[in-house]
């Protein structure tokens, strides 16, 4: 019955279950019919549909293979260090600029850098810089599904053995920490230096580094009990790790 109906049209499990029930053959749930379809497909009795494409230039018809979608990892249930990254886009007098941002979820240590283009190569460069300046080990990174977190970004994370999580589409709550930092950065700094951002990126980034030093080393954070991100990180260090940070006193 299932095979006969599928010969007419590639209908889904819900419609097949309704047809079986209407013909008085069986009362099966859609999930049961779905499992039956899966078993038939494994046995080769349910062939995959053929997708044909017509090439207007050559006049040839060829079979189009559908791309295999990669399963994306989610951070639900994850425990441990997690860095969240994003991109802020700004227009000034028709000039488009991109500010890459990142924040450590626990310590709230944050970093940002402005670029003139929007690519996965730029995002990879930003993540390398973040690893260099952040006083913590990056093991897990979460981003949205933007193209800037694609090929070159993925290659870097794979090389550095960093797990890449993706947030669910249209679910900004999963990126709440970085969204809050983006708002603070925009209100406290970007608005003030929009002209510099558009016409002198080097000077803008230099100014932003000074602001980030203040943000991470001087500005108290409510979420950390009114201490700075750097002080929070230092307070978490063991005595042995703290000793490694002391200035050498050898004469």
Write the pLDDT tens digit of every residue in 79-93. Answer: 999 999 999 999 999
User: Can you give the pLDDT at residue 16?
Assistant: 74
The CATH class, in words, for 83-242 is: alpha beta
Decide if pLDDT at 248 tops 60. no
Write the pLDDT tens digit of every residue in 123-151. Answer: 999 999 999 999 999 999 999 999 999 99
161 vs 158: CA distance, rounded Å: 5
CA dihedral 31, 32, 33, 34 (to 10 degrees): 50
For residues 93 and 199, the answer to whether their CB atoms sit within 8 Å is no
* Cα–Cα separations (whole angstroms), residue 61 to 55, 67, 190: 6, 19, 52
Domain with CATH 3.30.420.10 in the chain: 83-242
Decide if pLDDT at 173 tops 50. yes
The mean of the pLDDT values for the chain is 88
Decide if pLDDT at 208 tops 90. yes
């Amino acid at each position: 019955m299932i095979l006969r109906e599928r010969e007419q049209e590639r209908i889904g499990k819900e419609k097949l279950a309704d047809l079986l029930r209407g013909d008085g053959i069986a009362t099966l749930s859609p999930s049961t019919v779905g499992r039956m379809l899966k078993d038939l497909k494994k046995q080769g009795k349910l062939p995959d549909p053929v997708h044909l494409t017509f090439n207007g230039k050559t006049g040839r018809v060829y079979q189009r293979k559908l791309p295999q979608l990669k399963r994306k990892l989610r951070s639900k249930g994850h425990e441990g260090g997690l860095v969240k990254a994003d991109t802020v886009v700004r227009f000034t007098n028709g000039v488009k600029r991109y500010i890459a941002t990142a924040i450590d979820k626990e310590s709230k240590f944050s970093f940002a850098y402005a670029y003139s283009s929007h690519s996965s190569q730029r995002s990879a460069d930003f993540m390398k810089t973040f690893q260099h300046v952040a006083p913590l080990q990056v093991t897990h990174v979460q981003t949205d599904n933007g193209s800037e977190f694609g090929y070159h970004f993925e290659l870097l994370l794979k090389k550095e053995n960093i797990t890449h999580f993706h947030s669910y589409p249209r679910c900004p709550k999963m990126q709440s920490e970085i969204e809050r930092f983006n708002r603070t950065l925009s209100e406290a700094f970007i608005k003030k230096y929009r002209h510099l951002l558009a016409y002198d990126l080097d000077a803008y980034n230099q100014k932003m580094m000074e602001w980030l030093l203040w943000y991470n080393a001087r500005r108290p954070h409510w979420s950390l009990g009114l201490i700075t991100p750097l002080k929070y990180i230092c307070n978490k260090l063991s005595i042995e790790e703290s000793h490694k940070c002391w200035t050498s006193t050898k004469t």
